[in-house]
Amino acid sequence: MQQSCDKVVLIPKINRRIFLIMSGGLLLPTVHRVFAKQKNETMNNRYDAIIVGGSFAGLAAAMTLGRSLRKVLVLDTDKPCNRFTIHAHNVLTHDGESPASIKEKVLKELLNYSTVEIRKQEALHVSKTDAGFIIATANENYECRKLIFATGMRDILPDIDGAAACWGKTLLHCPYCHGYEVRGEPTMILATAKDIPEMVKLLSQWTKQLYACATDGKLLDASFLQLCEEKGVLVIGKHVQRIAHTNGRVSAVCFNDGTQQQVSVIYGRFPMEQHAVLPVSVGCVLTDMGLIKVDMMGQTTVSGVYAAGDCISPFRTIHTAMASGTMAGAAVNKELIELEF
C-alpha cells in the first residue's frame, strides 16, 4: 500500500486500528489529524438550536437562547419583508428609524454573545433525525436539537403598474405603523369587497378623506354603500390600471376608463403566503389564514419545531415579532432543560 496522506484522506472509513496495523504504524500522526479534523468539523456544525430567519423575531430568539448559554446558529438570507419600508414607527426607542438600521444595532449587540453565530446562508432542506434535525444549505449541513422558523411572510402585490415601486413608501399595509405620518391625507383603500368595510371603519380614525376600490371587482353591500355615502367615503367601482407616482410617492390612482382619483397614500390588503416552504415540508400545519399553527409559546404541530414572527401572526410589527421570538427562545431553552435535568 502506498503510504501517502492523499490515500488516508480518501479512505477515512477504514477502522483506524486495522489501518495502522496494515501501514506498520508509520502514518499515526497523519491518521490522528484526519480523524480529529473530521470530529471537530462535526462538532462545530452541531447546535442546541438553529433559527431559520434572521430578522427581528429570529434575532430575539437568538439573543434569548444565547443568554441561556445555548449554542445557537441563525441562518439568514437578509431579505425581510420590511426591506421596502423607509421608516419604522410605533417602536419604542427607535421610532422613525429604518428597519435596516434597527436590525444593524441588534446585530452589533449580538456580537457580545459568543454563544450566537449568524451565517448568511439559505436553509434549503430540513430532515428529522433521532437527535433532532439536519438543516442543509448550499455549502454545509448543520445539526441541531431544536429548530425555530422565523421565516416571515411574502406579500403578493396586485399586478398594477406602480404598485411595487410604491410598496412600503406610500402604498402601505398598516395604519399603526404609518398612519400618523399620513393623517388627514386623501387616502385610497385597495382591497377585496369583503375586506373594504373593515378597512374603511379602521382608517376613518386617521383621515376623513377616504376612497375605496374593490380589487376583485365585486359589489359591496347596499347598506354599507349607504353608510359610506353618509360618512363621505367615495366607493369607486372601476378597475385600477396603474398608480401614478414619483419615486414611490403616490399622486393618483388611475382607472381603466381614463379617469383618476388624486390621493397621496394608499392602504392595501393583499394576499400573503409563507416566505419559506420548509415549515410545511417538515410537517408544520398552517391555519386557514396560511400562518404556521402554534401554541402561545410558539410550539408548532411538529415536536421540537417552533415558529415566531410574521409567519405565525397577522399583526406584523417589530415589537410583536420580537416578543414572539423571545417566547419561542425561552420555550426551546425550557424544553432542553427538561431533557437534560
Summarised one tens digit per residue, pLDDT across range 196-213 is 999 999 999 999 999 999
**Domains in the chain, please, with CATH?**
5-44 (no CATH), 46-155+273-340 (3.50.50.60), 163-268 (3.50.50.60)
What tens digit of pLDDT does each residue of 297-315 get? 999 999 999 999 999 999 9
C-alpha 326, offset from chain centre:
15
- Sequence-separated (6 or more) residues with CB below 8 Å from residue 86: 98, 168, 169
pLDDT digits (tens, 9 = 90+) for 213-244: 999 989 899 999 999 999 999 999 999 999 99
Could you tell me which residue, 29 or 54, shows the higher pLDDT?
54
Cβ contacts of 103 within 8 Å, gap of 6 or more: 55, 56, 59, 80
Strand partners, 305: 147
* Cell 433525525, located at residue: 129
β-strand 46-52 against 153-155: which pairing, if any? unpaired
Residue 84 — very low, low, confident or very high, per pLDDT cuts 50/70/90?
A: confident
Cell of 17: 486500528
Alpha carbon 165 to chain centroid, angstroms: 21
Q: Which residues contact residue 207 at a Cβ distance below 8 angstroms, ignoring those fewer than 6 apart?
A: 182, 183, 184, 185, 186, 187
Given a cut of 90, is residue 86 above it in pLDDT? no
Question: In the predicted model, what is the mean pLDDT of residues 66-89?
Answer: 92
- 149 φ/ψ angles, rounded to the nearest 5 degrees: -95, 125
Burial status of residue 15 (CB atoms within 10 A of its CB: 0-12, 13-18, 19 or more): exposed
Predicted confidence at residue 41, as pLDDT, reads: 54
Query: In this structure, what C-alpha cell is assigned to residue 234?
Result: 367615495
Q: Mean pLDDT throughout 306-327?
A: 95
Q: Which residues contact 220 (CB under 8 A, 6 or more apart)?
A: 193, 196, 197, 214, 228, 235
Distance of alpha carbon 212 from alpha carbon 190, whole angstroms? 6
Is the predicted pLDDT of residue 24 greater than 70, yes or no? no
CA distances 28 to 33, 37, 96, 119, Å, are 9, 14, 63, 35
pLDDT at 217: 87
pLDDT tens figures, 108-162: 999 999 999 999 999 999 999 999 999 999 989 999 999 999 999 999 999 999 9
